[in-house]
């Protein structure tokens, strides 16, 4: 499954701070249909993500009926991204 969407990067300050882009509702519904087949522990979904020219492997976090794409520091640095930037994310669900 391949998905593409745009969203705003935001920062979570919790005990393990991280940057995320939230997957829009429509794409979350598509992911839910696949989750039963590919998810592991806590409903995490393994994906290959891409923003601009940077690609990385990660897992989508389920949160409040949606999914979050974690964007690690190396990706943010390579693409010059910061909180509030709207980015286009391409996801390939790893089956």
Residue pLDDT, tens place only, 36-70: 888 877 889 999 999 999 999 999 999 999 999 99
pLDDT at 89 > cutoff 80: yes
Structure tokens at 47: 């994906």
Q: By the 8 A CB rule, do 29 and 86 touch? A: no
Q: Whats the size of the chain, residue-wise?
A: 95
**pTM of the entire structure?**
0.91
How high is the pLDDT of residue 35?
A: 85
pLDDT at 5 > cutoff 90: yes
How high is the pLDDT of residue 17?
A: 82
d(CA 70, CA 63): 12
2-93 homologous superfamily: AF2212/PG0164-like (2.40.30.100)
Q: Average pLDDT in the 1-23 region?
A: 93
d(CA 6, CA 51): 10
């Amino acid at each position: 499954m391949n998905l593409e969407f745009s969203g705003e990067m935001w920062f979570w300050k919790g005990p393990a701070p991280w940057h995320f882009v939230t997957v829009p509702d429509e794409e979350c519904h598509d992911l839910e249909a696949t989750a039963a087949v590919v998810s592991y522990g806590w409903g995490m979904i393994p994906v290959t993500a891409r923003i601009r020219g940077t690609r990385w492997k990660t897992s989508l976090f389920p949160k409040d009926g949606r999914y979050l794409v974690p964007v690690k520091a190396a990706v943010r640095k390579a693409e010059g991204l910061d909180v509030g930037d709207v980015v286009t994310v391409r996801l390939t669900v790893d089956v």
